[in-house]
């Protein structure tokens, strides 16, 4: 399936992780930069270097506000890039950090962000090996943006990917959906919502290691921008399968569900920053769920769906009312600057 880029200017939707992002990546960057490593779908590139099997990834963080309940832009930048390595099956080794700072930014805030990066890196077992700082004139950036790139090592024999997914496989998520996106949205304070939400930002290395130790894992992903719906649409398209979700099985906190309902947002499209989606062979599925639930970050893990052969490329949701509907990729950007 080829996606064309028809727009003349870049819009917020191009950064939202859904259909427009895909059009930008597949319609502009991939044709220009064409090489076998640059995949529009993979969170990390895999490459062989000097006998080692490496994963390499990058992500820029523009979240607003910089400090929110449950985290900071710094923790997000570490955990997000660590997780892009982890879901590729890699053990994260080192990160780089590149800052764009607006002139006049408080040094105390910068110190707090650097400290949160350091703490998150320790928790995830990675070092920040290289950094760079650029400053732009007042009014030419919004406080601070952080890019992190990440390097990891992939076990020699591990194979993961959408093309390995088969009908009958089970879809697991490691916990509740939508916490990060809704927490950031509420933290901006322009909604009159008085609700206690926290970002779920966390490193997924222990959850992934537990799953891989069980075996039978075909595919892992962290459902960030665009949420679970977008991640599963990408899986269905790339794996040439259907994904059937069970609405009643989707774990969503009451507060998140209530906030989503008030704002007319579907938690399936809301970004998560500490959740793992995995597709596991049916014979390993119960052990996989138990392995996730045995860890603090996986206590709310659940089966949420199954892989089916048809209709190829679609995500279907069996609703709590007994019906069934198609769940499309994210269109537009209901939640800009969430990561």
Residues 136-195 that bind a copy of itself (CB under 8 A): 136-137, 139-142, 145, 147, 149, 151, 153
Residues in the interface with a copy of itself (CB under 8 A) total: 83
Rounded Cα–Cα distance for residues 256 and 228 (Å): 15
Among 41, 93, 164, 249, interactor with a copy of itself by CB under 8 A? 93
Complex with a copy of itself: residue 159 or 286, whichever CB lies closer? 159
Q: Select 154 or 285, whichever has its Cβ closest to a copy of itself.
A: 154
Please state the closest distance from residue 262 (CB atom) to a copy of itself, in A.
23
Least Å distance, CB 81 to a copy of itself, is 9
Which lies closer to a copy of itself via its Cβ, residue 9 or residue 192?
Answer: 9
Q: Tell me the residue length of the chain.
A: 339
Q: Taking CB under 8 A as the criterion, which residues in 118-137 touch a copy of itself?
A: 118, 121, 127-137
| From candidates 65, 168, 311, 336, binder to a copy of itself by CB under 8 A | 336
Q: Is 53 in the site for a copy of itself (CB under 8 A)?
A: yes
- Rounded to a whole number of angstroms, the minimum distance from the CB of residue 12 to a copy of itself is 5
- Smallest gap, in angstroms, from Cβ of residue 178 to a copy of itself? 20
Closer Cβ to a copy of itself, 115 or 326, answer by number: 115
Task: Say if residues 280 and 218 touch (Cβ distance below 8 Å).
Answer: yes
The distance of closest approach from Cβ of residue 145 to a copy of itself in the complex, given in angstroms and rounded to an integer, is 5
To a copy of itself, the closest distance from the beta carbon of 137 in angstroms equals 7
| SS3 of residue 228 by DSSP | helix
Smallest separation (angstroms) from a copy of itself to the CB of 5: 7
One residue of 3, 26, 41, 96 binding a copy of itself per CB under 8 A: 96
Residue 107: Cβ-neighbour burial (10 angstroms; 0-12, 13-18, 19+): exposed
Residue 73 engages a copy of itself in binding (rule: CB under 8 A)? no
Residue 316's alpha-carbon distances to 80, 122, 325, in angstroms, are 27, 40, 6
Counting contacts by CB under 8 A, is residue 115 touching a copy of itself?
Answer: yes
For residues 69 and 336, which CB has a smaller minimum distance to a copy of itself in the complex? 336
Report the nearest approach of a copy of itself to the CB of residue 47 (Å). Answer: 6
Residues 326, 315: contact at Cβ < 8 Å? Answer: yes
Cα separation of 331 and 54, whole Å? Answer: 33
Binding status of residue 313 toward a copy of itself by CB under 8 A: no
Closest CA to 146 of 222, 75, 42: 75
- Reported as type and span, the H/E element at residue 260 is helix 254-263
Q: What does the alpha-carbon distance between residue 41 and residue 158 come to, in Å, rounded to a whole number?
A: 18
59 lies in the site for a copy of itself, by CB under 8 A: yes
**Residue-wise DSSP of 181-221:** HHHHHHHT--S-------------HHHHHHHHHH--EEEEE
Whose Cβ is closer to a copy of itself: residue 14's or residue 218's? 14
Indicate whether 60 belongs to the interface with a copy of itself (CB under 8 A): yes
Rounded CA-CA distance 317/314 in Å is 10
Residues from 11 through 50 that contact a copy of itself (CB under 8 A): 11-16, 21, 24-25, 28-29, 32-35, 37-38, 42, 44-45, 47, 49-50
Residue given tokens 């499309």 in the structure block: 328
Q: How far is the CB of 155 from a copy of itself (least distance, A)?
A: 10
What is d(CA 7, CA 68) in angstroms, rounded to the nearest whole number?
Answer: 33
- Tell me: does residue 219 bind a copy of itself (CB under 8 A): no
The burial class, CB within 10 Å (0-12 / 13-18 / 19+), for 173 is buried
Angle at 274 between CA 268 and CA 276, to 5 degrees: 70
């Amino acid at each position: 399936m080829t996606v064309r880029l028809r727009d003349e200017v870049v819009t917020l939707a191009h950064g939202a992780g859904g259909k427009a992002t895909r059009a930008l990546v597949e319609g502009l960057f991939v044709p220009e930069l064409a090489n076998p490593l640059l995949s529009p779908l993979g969170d990390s590139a895999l490459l062989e270097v000097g006998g080692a099997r490496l994963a390499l990834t990058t992500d820029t963080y523009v979240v607003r506000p910089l400090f929110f309940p449950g985290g900071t832009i710094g923790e997000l930048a570490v955990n997000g890039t660590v997780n892009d390595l982890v879901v590729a099956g890699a053990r994260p080794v080192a990160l780089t950090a590149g800052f764009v700072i607006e002139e006049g930014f408080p040094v105390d805030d910068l110190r707090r962000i650097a400290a949160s990066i350091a703490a998150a890196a320790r928790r995830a077992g990675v070092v920040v090996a290289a950094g760079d700082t650029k400053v732009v004139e007042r009014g030419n950036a919004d406080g601070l943006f952080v890019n992190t790139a990440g390097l990891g090592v992939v076990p020699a024999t591990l194979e993961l990917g959408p093309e390995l997914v088969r009908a009958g496989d089970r879809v697991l998520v490691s916990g509740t959906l939508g916490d990060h996106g809704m927490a950031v949205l509420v933290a901006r304070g322009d909604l009159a919502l008085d609700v206690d939400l926290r970002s779920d930002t966390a490193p997924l290395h222990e959850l992934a290691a537990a799953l891989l130790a069980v075996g039978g894992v075909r595919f892992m992903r962290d459902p960030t921008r665009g949420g679970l719906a977008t991640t599963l649409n990408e899986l269905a398209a790339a794996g040439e399968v259907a994904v059937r979700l069970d609405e009643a099985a989707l774990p969503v906190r009451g507060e998140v569900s209530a906030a989503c309902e008030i704002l007319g947002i579907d938690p399936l499209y809301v970004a998560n920053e500490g959740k793992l989606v995995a597709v596991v062979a049916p014979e390993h599925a119960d052990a996989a769920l138990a392995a996730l639930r045995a860890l603090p970050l996986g206590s709310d893990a659940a089966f949420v769906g199954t892989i089916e052969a048809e209709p190829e490329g679609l995500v279907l949701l069996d609703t709590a009312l007994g019906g069934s509907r198609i769940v499309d990729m994210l269109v537009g950007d209901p939640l800009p600057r969430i990561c």
